[in-house]
Amino acid sequence: MYIVTGGAGFIGSAFVWKLNQMGITDILVVDNLEETEKWKNLVNLTFDDYIHKSDFIEALEVGSVRNVDAIVHMGACSSTTELDADYLMENNLHYTQYLAQYCLDHKCRFIYASSAATYGDGSQGFDDDHDGFARLRPLNMYGYSKQLFDLWALKRGMLDKMVGIKFFNVYGPNEYHKDDMKSVVCKAYHQIRETGALKLFKSYREEYGHGEQKRDFVYIKDCLDIMAWFLEHPEVNGVFNLGTGQARTWNDLAKSVFAAMNMEPNIQYIDMPESLREKYQYFTQANMQKLRDAGCDLHFTSLEDAIKDYIQNYLDTENPYLS
């Protein structure tokens, strides 16, 4: 059995789709659906059962869940604006600690989501070398909760027995329920359809022009290929970056969205809220050498091709979900 926590969420449901593509359907989805639209991510997928995240730990403890091959732990509060630190400690840190220990005790594969948010303002670089983790200073509580688990596992010598993935700016199908946390690609598509224009934040640093701030944007389908590779290579362990290794500007992204929609670019630069200016990241770029050195044959879809696939094969269709 393969267990995917956060299995109705963005990356989690996409990975269930990937498992289905690999011929795997003996899957337990763990999540918290509540009154969200996340359930729509599951409609096109094949899996064995669903269990609420609050009941999952007990199910493991009493042994009602057995014969686990792997737990792919994508479940977490991923909001970078969440202010309830106690909730993040319990949901993102302690929950992950339990699952990690369970997998070590039961000798099953454990793959979990860390985050590029652990890198903070980027002043310490974007290298996934374990020795540098203690120097990182996340800018928000979400990133800090992710860093705390990385440090906890590192201190206990566990990182050579599991895989952590520091996702950079992921975009693609099945993210529609994320409200304000949706990717800019998704937001841009809808904004352009409604207004014919796209608004981007102005730059407040001389070295960056408006819209020239850079991010490492990575397509969900490329992430799934790497995650599947980790599943198939249990000898590879540690914390790894997952970006493309190539930073692109917001202007590049905007032009790619307009091109995929067969429209001429119409970009408007607006003031950034005061509350964001001190926390805003002007540059992120994953160092992908560690994954290459581990033997993963990397191939990432270009920003232009990925956005074209996302818009023309999903956002512009009646059924925008992975199926």
pLDDT in tens, 98-148: 999 999 999 999 999 999 999 998 889 999 999 999 999 998 899 999 999
The residue annotated as part of the active site, out of 40, 178, 182, 187, is: 178
Distance of CA 258 to the CA centre of its chain: 24
pLDDT of residue 320: 97
In a domain, 208, yes or no: no
* % pLDDT > 90, the chain: 89
The CA distance from 150 to 159, in Å, is 8
Query: What Å distances lie between residue 275 and 20, 54, 117, 250, 271, CA to CA?
Result: 42, 34, 18, 20, 11
pLDDT of residue 240: 98
Catalytic, 142? Answer: yes
Catalytic, 178? Answer: yes
pLDDT of residue 279: 79
In a domain, 83, yes or no: yes
Quote the pTM value. Answer: 0.95
CATH number at 44 reads: 3.40.50.720
Into how many domains does the chain fold?
A: 1
Q: What is the mean pLDDT of residues 167-196?
A: 96
- Burial category of 94 from C-beta neighbours within 10 Å (exposed 0-12, middle 13-18, buried 19 and up): middle
The residue annotated as part of the active site, out of 2, 142, 189, 321, is: 142
The CA distance from 281 to 292, in Å, is 26
Residue 290 main-chain phi, psi, to 5 deg = -60, -40
What mean pLDDT, rounded, does the chain reach? 95
The CA distance from 17 to 314, in Å, is 15
* Residue 278 binned pLDDT confidence (cut-offs 50, 70, 90): confident
pLDDT of residue 157: 96
* Residue 216 binned pLDDT confidence (cut-offs 50, 70, 90): very high
Q: What is the mean pLDDT of residues 30-40?
A: 93
pLDDT of residue 97: 97
In a domain, 225, yes or no: yes
Instruction: Evaluate whether 210 touches 199 at the Cβ level (below 8 Å).
Output: no
pLDDT digits (tens, 9 = 90+) for 232-270: 999 999 999 999 999 999 999 999 999 999 999 999 999
Q: What is the residue range of 237's domain?
A: 2-171+218-245+284-301
In a domain, 98, yes or no: yes
Confidence check: pLDDT of 81 > 90: no
pLDDT of residue 82: 82
Confidence check: pLDDT of 211 > 80: yes
In a domain, 206, yes or no: no
Q: What is the mean pLDDT of residues 3-24?
A: 98
The CA distance from 233 to 227, in Å, is 10
In a domain, 118, yes or no: yes
In a domain, 263, yes or no: no
For residue 73, give the nearest of 183, 140, 163 by alpha carbon: 163
Q: What is the mean pLDDT of residues 17-29?
A: 98
pLDDT of residue 121: 87
In a domain, 95, yes or no: yes
Residue 185 main-chain phi, psi, to 5 deg = -60, -50
pLDDT of residue 78: 78
